[in-house]
Structure formats: C-alpha cells, structure tokens
Amino acid sequence: MRLPISSNTHVLVLTGAGISAESGVPTFRDAGGLWEGHDVERVASPRGFFDDPLLVWRFYSERRAALTGIVPNAGHRALVDLEARLGDRFLLVTQNIDGLHLAAGSQRVVEIHGNLMRSRCTRCDRPSFADTTAYRAGVAPMCGRCKQRGEDSILRPDVVWFGEPVVKDALPRIETFVDAAGAHLVFLAIGTSGLVYPSASFVDVTRRAGGTSWLVNLEASANADRFDHVVLGKASQELPALFAT
C-alpha cells in the first residue's frame, strides 16, 4: 500500500513508542516495557512525583542513561525523507521524549509530551534547560536559581505527566496545520497504543476535517477501528514502502 500524496496533500504524522522500539528504546505497555514493575501513577503523574521525587528521578535518570548510543532507525529516516518532499505540508507530532526524530533530522517536530533531556524548576519561571544528567540515586537535583532568592526548589524532568496539559503551543500548532489542510489532510499514526489523549483523538479530528487516516502499528491499537486504513507491521519496514514514489 502507498500513502496517497498529491500536490496539495498535507501529512500530519503522530508517532509513539513503537517507532523507537527498533532503535532499542523500550515501549511503555508491551511486555518488558518501561512500566513493567512500576506503578504508572507513581512515575507518570505530578502527585507521584511530589510523593516520591527520588523514585521518579531514578526512573528518568535510568532512561537518560539508557539513551546513550541509541540512534534513529529506518522508520525515523523515512519520515525525514517524506518531510523533504512535502516541506510545510508536513508536520510531525511525537509523543516520544527521546529526541530521536530531531536526531534523525526531522525539522517540523512537535514534542507534545516534552523531552527527556531537558529539566525545569518545579517552582520558578526559569525556562526549561538541556540536561543530560543521570542523577545519582538518593540525590534530588535542585534549581539553584531559587536558592539565590531564598529557599531552593527541586527540579523535574521537562515531560508531560497524566493530568497535565500537553506542551504549550502544541495544540495550536496542530490546529493551524489541520485548518490549512482541510480535506487534503492525511493523518498517519505510527507505533502508538491509541490510549493516551489528546493524541488518541487526532484520528477523530481528521475525520471531522474531511481528511483520511492511516495507522501503522504492530498490532491493532485501542482506536484502530476509527482509522480508514490500518497497516499491521513494523514501522521500519512499513514506512519506506508506504512512502515509495
């Protein structure tokens, strides 16, 4: 199967953990995934963080360390090639925080759940900053800037947990793209469970806009029956074939 692309097609891509799986980054909900052995509420919610910041920092520090040596795969690269063909008629929204799309060379990228290699203060308005540190177990990283003004505050990873709004500007940027595309919109979701909102609703947004939706996933995702086309398989194999000219 080929993705139907004509001179006015706008392609909105949504990626999830599945696209990075073949680079060696574990997914969340699959067997052996990131959340195996973890209570999701404890490591992926603001409440879990404030209850036990050291536990949550250990989880994210281990993920930072595990990214060493990880490189993009053929799935990421196929999306770079597609963007080169489409230019501003392409937008890539990723739920992944691993930075692999940017590392591959994608440019029009919205990291809707933040980035693992950034941190921010839990209190002050200091902008989020690049931070690759895998903090030592038992040591809470502190802001430092707050200290100069009185009491110091704990840092947190610059990621989006359950119950938090997605990254500022992500939804307006997607909305602008969808509005510009109208019925020329082709939505392509890749490697995602279809369980987490608002991303899981983009397929419905596409339908309302009059566009067409495609899913590439190893298995039928939770929202698979809302897609027009479903391709079951590995992203690294299916995407190059789907984008062939």
Instruction: Please give the positions annotated as active site.
Output: 113
Taking the complex as a whole, the smallest distance from the CB of residue 8 to ligand BJW amounts, in Å, to 28
Applying CB under 6 A, among 24, 144, 163, 182 the residue interacting with ligand BJW is 163
Say how many residues touch ligand BJW, by CB under 6 A.
35
Taking the complex as a whole, the smallest distance from the CB of residue 117 to ligand BJW amounts, in Å, to 12
Contacting ligand BJW within 88-127 (CB under 6 A): 95, 97, 113
Applying CB under 6 A, among 89, 120, 156, 234 the residue interacting with ligand BJW is 234
Tell me the torsion sign for CA atoms 110, 111, 117, 118.
Answer: positive
Which ranges constitute the DSSP H helices of the chain? Answer: 17-21, 40-43, 46-51, 53-66, 74-86, 100-104, 145-148, 170-181, 202-209, 235-242
Q: Going by C-beta distance under 8 Å and a sequence separation of 6 or more, which residues neighbour residue 15? A: 79, 92, 93, 94, 95, 96, 101, 189, 190, 191, 192
Which range in 4-12, 121-129, 169-177, 218-226 contacts ligand BJW by CB under 6 A? 218-226
CB 130 within 8 A of CB 78: no
Residues that bind ligand BJW (CB under 6 A): 16-18, 21-22, 27-30, 33, 44, 95, 97, 113, 159-166, 191-193, 195-198, 217-219, 221, 234-235
